[in-house]
Each structure stands twice: as C-alpha cells, then as structure tokens.
Amino acid sequence: MELLLGTGFSIIILVVALMVFLHFVPLGLWVSAIAANVNVGIFTLVGMRLRRVVPQKIVLPLIKANKAGLDVSVNQLEAHYLAGGNVDRVVDALIAAHRAQIPLPFERSAAIDLAGRDVLEAVQMSVNPKVIETPVVSAVAKNGIELKIKARVTVRANIDRLVGGAGEPTIIARVGEGIVTTVGSAESHTAVLESPDEISKTVLGKGLDAGTAFEILSIDIADVDVGRNIGAELLTDQAEADKRIAQAKAEERRAMAVAKEQEMKAYTQEMEAKVVEAQSDVPHAIAEAFRSGNLGVMDYYNLKNIQADTDMRDAISKAGGPTVPTPPVVK
C-alpha cells in the first residue's frame, strides 16, 4: 500500500515537473524553428519566458520573415514586442514592401507602428493609392451665387513622413479651403461651371500635402451644384435693416412732435390761466380806483359802454360769418 502511494506521488511530481519544463522550454516551437531553418536556440526561448515574452509572437513572425528573404533578428523582434509594438503586423508590412520594391528598413517600420499608425495599411496605400471623398464644400463667387462642390482626392502614403505627418482630416480641410478660395476669386459662378478643372489645377498647385503623411496625386471635382443667391439675400437683409432704421427714426420724430404738441398745449393753458387771473384783478383795481378818487362815476359808465359796444361787435361778427358771393346765372 505504501509502495503504491509512493509511486502515485512520484508520478504526480513527474507530471508537474514536465508541465513546468514544457512551459519554460517550448520544444514544439523550437522544432518548428529548426524545421524552417531559423536559428533560434532553446535557451533563447527559455529567456523569452523569463522576460515574459510570448515565444510564439516572436518565432512565428521570424519564420515568416526568414521565408520571405528578410534579414530580421530575434533581438529586433523581441525589442519591438517589449516596446508595445505589433510584431506580426510589422513583419507583414516588411514583406509587402519587399515584394513591392519599396525601401522600408525595420527601424522605420517599427517606428511607424509605435507611433500608432497601421504600417501595413500604409505600405498597401503606397502600392494602391486611396481615394478620399470630401464633404460638400459651400463656396460663393464674386457675383454672390453659391456653389456646392464635392471633390475626390487621390492620395498615396508617404512612408518617410508617416511619423509626425498629418492625417486625412488635414487633407480634407486643406482641399476645402482651396476650393473656397478658388471659387471666391472667380468673377462669376458661370466661369466655374464652364471649367471646373481649373479648381483642381489651382488647388493642386498650392502644395496642400506639405507636412502630411500623404502625397496628393490628383484632385477631381465630382459634383458642382448651384445653391442660393447669397449676394441678393445679403442685399435684401441690408435693405430690410435700413427700412427698420428709417422707421425707428420716423417713430422717434413723431414721438418728439407729439411731445412738443403736448408741451405747447400745456403752455397755452398756462397762459390762459394767467389771463383769467389778470381779469380777476380788474374789479379789485376799479374798486381801489373809486376809493382813492382816481375814477369817477362817469368814467366808470363810459368804460361799461365801451365794453358793451365791444361785446356787441364780437357777437355780430361771430353770428354773421363770411359773405359768399352768388355766381351769375348763365342764360
């Protein structure tokens, strides 16, 4: 019984030791490398395990690069992996560049990959240019007519400027700016409609790909539509604004006139009140003249006769009115 237990325990220890050994020593991967004529030592694979590097992600791309005729070492791939790069994608990009006869050293490919760009896509774009379609760009000619233009930009990746170069949004923004400038300098929208290729020539001659990761091959105008008459709308809005300003000034003058009228009415009433006040002082003055002996009875009656005569004349003039001559009768 004790012998059986000892044998079972030994088998378990042996199995665990074998699993640990196979984990640190990937024999299958080593055999694959030898079969592919790739010089990778067994201790190199063990060192990768100790450095927490997955051997499959180094050895398999190395085999692929060796079969493609590339001169890539284990240390280069392992260093790129430890830096956080995608080893398999870099090797695929190197193979594609080698097949297309594009000079691309491993250091530049690794730098492009570490910069966050898809190096394989960049190589493919260098071989097969990409077409970027811009959104609809609204531009206004000098005669005020709006044109809506859509363009297609054919670009090719520039391997030398992939690190630090601007991307597609910059290309689209620059092309849109060039279209707006070109249309804005045209005397009439009909000139643009007659020769839209002038937009392509003018924009392409501005060197819009400077500082970008692409090389612009061509700019083609895909669609040109006539939009609104912006100039007429601006003139209409200006006329409406001038009309409102004139109406406001007229309203201001009317309000000032009404205020002046009310002021004159108040002034007239004030003067009438002063006249009434002065008239009320006349009887007191007459009485004072009687007491002081400055006015006699006959003088008083003469004054009353004059007042009565004046009132009679006023009544007659108000009752008679103007005399209208009678036209002659035509026989």
Do you know the residue count of the chain? 331
Are 179 and 146 spatial neighbours (Cβ–Cβ below 8 Å)?
Answer: no
Per-residue pLDDT tens over the stretch 168-184: 888 888 888 888 888 88
Q: Which of 111-120, 149-158, 223-232 has the lowest mean pLDDT?
A: 223-232
Say how far residue 38 (Cα) sits from the centre of its chain.
56
Question: What local confidence, expressed as pLDDT, does residue 330 receive?
Answer: 44
Residue 86 and residue 110: Cα distance in Å, rounded?
9
Confidence of residue 203 (pLDDT cuts 50, 70, 90): confident
Biggest CA pair distance of the chain:
174
pTM of the full predicted structure?
0.56
| 138 vs 197 pLDDT, higher one | 138
Per-residue pLDDT tens over the stretch 292-331: 877 777 777 787 788 888 888 888 887 765 554 545 544 4
Provide the token pair at 279. Answer: 């008239």
Q: Which segment, 98-107, 157-166, 251-260, is predicted with the most confidence on average?
A: 251-260
Please provide the CATH number assigned to the domain covering 130-229: 3.30.479.30
Q: What is the dihedral of CA 110, 111, 116, 119, to 10 degrees?
A: -50
Residues 6+ apart with CB under 8 A from 212: 158, 161, 165, 166, 167, 170, 171
Residue 159 and residue 294: Cα distance in Å, rounded?
126
Region of residue 296 (left: phi > 0; alpha: psi -120 to 50; beta: else): beta
Are 45 and 70 spatial neighbours (Cβ–Cβ below 8 Å)?
Answer: no
Ranges for all domains in the chain classified under CATH 3.30.479.30? 130-229
For 326, the enclosing helix (H) or strand (E) is none
CB atoms within 10 A of CB 114: 16
By CB neighbour count within 10 A (0-12 exposed, 13-18 middle, 19+ buried), where does 35 fall? exposed
Residues facing residue 146 across a β-bridge:
140
